[in-house]
Amino acid sequence: MSALVIYLMSGPDTPELAEAAVEGGADLVELGFPFSDPLADGPVIRQAAEQALAQGMRTVACLECLAKTRERVDVPLVPMTYASLLEAYGYERFATDAEAAGATSLIVADLPADERPDLRRIQLVAPTSTDERLELAAEQTDGWLYLVTLTGTTGARDDLSPHFAGLISRARALTDVPLYAGFGISTPEHAQDAAALADGVVVGSRAVEVAEEGPAALRDYVRSLRTAIDAAVPAIID
């Protein structure tokens, strides 16, 4: 059964929202730390980041949010941030403080696998990644490998990326680490199709949109994803 990862932007309501997501069936919650120039993010998450920054959600406040979220849930919590924030805060200091606040790992969206190899984190690869880069990321990654299934930014799409199956196939040939797929997955149908191939499914932009409607709406949405994923039939890739 594939894992379900839900992304939420850090903010005053995030601990309650994370609890609702877990009640709906999320296996892991990814907590976005807002950044003023998030290159990997589309309009929904960019807007959420702007709102969070307007609410005063800087790195220290986000770490406090992480700690409050940890008090409510017992699933893995993974901050998602950018290298500039860690440069400003201090890489080692951030790693120490995040772990103390309850983080189980870390994602740095714009930090290549061959930079800061001492920083324990989940690595990302994309359809444009070479086999050499993919293999390096798999060797360096913490627990699972994040497959960015499309070229471009985060955001809901009408269909799964046409590059998805090929990226999964390449990754399976190079590594045995669990493969989690994200970017462009927004509907239960998307989640089910992705779960047929991947070990985990990451849902971000649509979860952030639904979270604006409150914890109950998010719980129901996550439950619909969970039901679809649990019904997925594993596919065989040639």
User: Which run of H or E residues covers position 119?
Assistant: none
**140/185 Cα distance (integer angstroms):** 25
Structure tokens at 165: 């199956």
**pLDDT band at residue 155 under the 50/70/90 scheme:** very low
Tally of residues, the chain: 238
Nearest to 111 by CA among 150, 85, 89: 85
Q: In what order do the strands lie in the sheet with 200-203?
A: 107-108, 77-81, 28-32, 3-9, 200-203, 179-182, 145-148, 124-125
219 pLDDT above the threshold of 50: yes
What is the number of H-type helices and E-type strands within the chain? Answer: 10, 8
Which residues does 169 contact at the CB level (< 8 Å), separation at least 6? 237, 238
**pLDDT band at residue 164 under the 50/70/90 scheme:** confident
- Strands of 111-182 (E only): list them: 124-125, 145-148, 179-182
Catalytic residues, by residue number, are: 30, 41
What digits encode the pLDDT tens for the residues 126-139?
999 999 999 999 99
**pLDDT band at residue 81 under the 50/70/90 scheme:** very high
**pLDDT band at residue 156 under the 50/70/90 scheme:** very low
pTM: 0.93
Percent share of the chain, pLDDT over 70: 92
Query: How much is the average pLDDT of 163-186?
Result: 94
What digits encode the pLDDT tens for the residues 96-128?
999 999 999 999 999 999 999 999 999 999 999
